[in-house]
Structure 1
Amino acid sequence: MSSHEPDRARVIPLRPAPAAREPLWRDLVGDVLRRERAAQRRTLKDVAETARISVPYLSEIERGRKEASSEVLAAAARALGLGLGDVLSLAQRELVRDSPARRSAPARAPMGEVRLAA
């Protein structure tokens, strides 16, 4: 402590500040399913019955609490009139958009493209 700041204590953090975390895939997929269901103004019960999964299980998938199998995700997607690829593509777009690494990393060429140095 310096003599001209007698009332200030120096604080030493016990743990480093947490780094921005990558979003979880189950959260992204759940958000997509919930958003699509809401856009169609359908209830959890309706979609769960059509997909032949339980209402509580679909709810937990939508909230990112459960990591659903590809079969269950495909059934939920079909119940919404989508393909599994549609749901995964929408989730991937969110992952790329919301990724902390993307915000701090330099721009890269999309897969299949090569950028040449000028």
Structure 2
Amino acid sequence: MADILHFHRKPDPEQEREPDPLWRDVLGPRLRATREEQGERLVDVAEKAGISPQYLSEIERGRKEPSSEMISAVTGALGLDLADLLIGIASDVRRHRVGTRPAGPLLLAA
């Protein structure tokens, strides 16, 4: 009778890593960090963006998934370029993958 051989595969690191964070969980803290870095109050940014302070707070806490129009309004109110925001979010997701904490706001020089 033949022996049964058991092969142990090496675990795939891709399968073991934590899933990427949700978009809103990276976007919100990035917007909040940018706002705070600029010394802006939540109510003032919300007013400039044309949204309620409560809604902006929920976006910043990752509780709401804002539409592209809302993101545009908030980035406009912060004077933040959408491309810079996206670069910062991509950077945060990469840091998450290697297990380091996300950075604060990404403010690129013009």
Scaled by the length of structure 2, what TM-score is found?
0.70
- 2:51 corresponds to which residue? 53
**1:6-46: per-residue Cα shift (whole Å, max 9, x none)?**
xxxxxxxxxxxx96232111111101100000001111100
Runs of 4+ in structure 1 off by over 4 angstroms are none
**What's the CA shift string for 1:33-84, capped at 9, x where partnerless?**
0000000111110000001111010000000000001110011001111122
Spell out the pairing of 1:1-118 with structure 2 (5 A cutoff). 20-99=18-97
What 5-or-longer segments of structure 2 have no aligned partner? 1-15, 100-110
Hey, what's the Cα distance between the residues in 2 that align with 1:88 and 1:97?
A: 14
Q: Larger helix proportion, structure 1 or 2?
A: 2
- Aligned to 1:27, the other structure's residue is in SS state helix
Structure 1 unaligned regions, length at least 5: 1-17, 104-118
Q: What percentage of aligned pairs have identical amino acids?
A: 49
What amino acid does structure 2 have at the position aligned with 1:50? K
The structure having more radius of gyration, on CA atoms, is: 1
| One-letter amino acid matched to 1:31 | P
